[in-house]
Amino acid sequence: MIQLTAIQHAEAVLKKHIVKTPLLFSVTFSRMFHADIFLKLENMQKTGSFKIRGATYKLHTLGKKALSNGVITASAGNHAQGLALAAGNLKIPSTIVMPETVSIAKQEATASYGGKVVIHGQNVGESLEKAKEIAGSEGMIFIHPFDDMDVITGQGTIGLEIMKQIREPDLIVVPVGGGGLISGIASAVKMLKPETKIIGVQAEACPSASQARFNGGPIQVDSLPSIADGINVRRTGDVSYGILERFVNDIILVGEEYIAAAMLLLLERKKILAEGAGAVCLAALMNRAILPPKGGKVVVLVSGGNVDSQLLGRIMTKGLLKQGRIMSFRVRLDDRPGSLAELLFHVAKAKANVLQVNHTRNIRGIPLGSACIDLELETRGADHIQEISGYLKSMGYLISGLEKEE
C-alpha cells in the first residue's frame, strides 16, 4: 500500500519537472452523458503522456546510484519517452529496449530525448526480459514501466491534482494497461475521499486486468492488435494488482470501433488529439458500459496524445464508420455518357459529400453495356444514410454492399 504522504512527497519533487495539466469541463459531453464531465488532459503533459511523472520520481529516489552505469527499461512508446527525457534532465544515461513492432516515429522520439534505443522482441514482454538481461550484464538499474512502487507513487500525483482541481468528484475513469496509473490515482483519491468511485477501462483486445480480477490474481492473457496500443499489456503487474484489487471499483472493456469513435469525438468536438489508450475512458461512456451518476461529477482521464501520423487517418476513418458518417456502396449503371453525372447529381441532391469514386467495367457477372460504380460518401450519420439509400432506390438505382458497411 502507498501512503498518502509518499504521493505528496512525489508531488513536491515533481513540481519543477512536470506540467500541472488542466482539468477541462466539457459542456458537450456533459449534455451527452447527463453528468458534469471533466477531462483531465495528461495528453498535454511533457512527452505527451503521464509516464514522465513516474519515471522522474523513480530517478529521484535512486539519486547517485543511477549515475554510474545508467538506467534501462522496456517500452513500446510513452514510458520510453518519459524515462529518456527524465534521465536526460538529470544527466543520467538511459537505454530503452523497444519491440520490433514499434513505429519508427516512436523510436525517433525516444532517441531525440536522449535515450539509447535497442530493438528486441515481438512484444513488450520480450523486450522487458532483454532489458533485465542487459541490466544484469552491464550493471545498469532496471526500471519497470508500471510494476514499481516508486513509479506508481509518481503516477499517483495525478490523483492529488484532480482532488485539488475539482471538489468531491463522484467518479474518476482511468485507462488500464499494466495497472500502474490507476493504482497510483486510486491510492491518492481513496485516501482523500473513499466514496469516490474509480473505474478502469481496458481494450477488449487485451483484457489483462479484467481477467486478473476474475482469476484472483495476475494472469497472462492472449492479446490482439489494438488502436489502444499503449495499454496493450498482456499481464497486470503484481504490485499494481494488489492496489487495484483494493481500491478500484470496476474494470470495463471497450471495443476497437468505440475507441476510434471516441478519438474522433475528442478531436472534432474539443480539438483534443488523444491516442487510443487516452480515449478508452470516453469510449466506455459512449458505449454505455459506464453509466455516470445523473448530475454527478465525473473525471475522464485522457492519458496521452501520442498518435503515429501514418495511423491517424485510418483511425479517424474507423471512427467515422462507427458513427455512420461514411457510407460505402456499389451501384450498377448503364454504360452510357452522362449516367455517372446523373448519379452524382442525385447524391448531391441527397446532401452527401463524395469522398471517393471508382468506375469499372471489368467485373465478372456484369453484362456488356453496364458498369459498376463504388462510392464512398461523407454523411451526417445513420439516419442520413437511410435517407440517401431510400432516395437513390426511389430513383431506380440498385444499391449493393451497403448493409455490410452499416
Q: Let me know whether 278 and 265 are in one domain.
A: yes
In this structure, the answer to whether residues 248 and 102 fall within a common structural domain is no
Are residues 61 and 43 located together in one domain of the fold? Answer: no
Percent of the chain topping pLDDT 90: 75
pLDDT of residue 405: 39
pLDDT band at 66 (very low <50, low <70, confident <90, very high): low
3-43: per-residue pLDDT in tens? 999 999 999 999 999 999 999 999 999 999 999 999 999 99
165 and 35 housed in the same domain: yes
For the chain, what is the domain count?
Answer: 3
Do 86 and 195 fall into the same domain? no
Whether 239 shows a pLDDT value over 50: the answer reads yes
The whole-number pLDDT of residue 97 equals 96
Range of the domain at 92: 52-146
Residues 279-292 have pLDDT tens digits of 999 999 999 999 99
Q: What is the mean pLDDT of the chain?
A: 92
Q: Look at residues 286, 320, 354 and tell me which one is the last residue of a structural domain.
A: 320
Q: Are residues 307 and 219 in the same domain?
A: yes
State whether 240 and 133 are in the same domain: no
**Same domain membership, residue 14 and residue 161:** yes
| 3-state DSSP assignment of residue 223 | coil
* pLDDT score of 63 more than 50: yes
Q: Which three cell numbers stand for residue 376?
A: 464512398
Q: Could you tell me if 131 and 158 lie in one domain?
A: no
Give the residue from 320, 351, 372 where a domain finishes. Answer: 320
pTM: 0.83
pLDDT at 122 over 90: no
107 burial (CB, 10 Å; 0-12 / 13-18 / 19+) is: middle
Last residue of a domain, one of 101, 127, 146: 146
Please give the pLDDT value at position 361. 78
Q: Say if residue 129 is in the same domain as residue 195.
A: no
pLDDT attached to residue 112: 94
Most confident of 52-66, 173-187, 308-322, 329-343: 173-187
Note the pLDDT of residue 74. Answer: 94
22 and 80 share one domain: no
Same domain, 34 and 180: yes
Amino acid in position 215? N
Cα–chain center distance at 306: 9
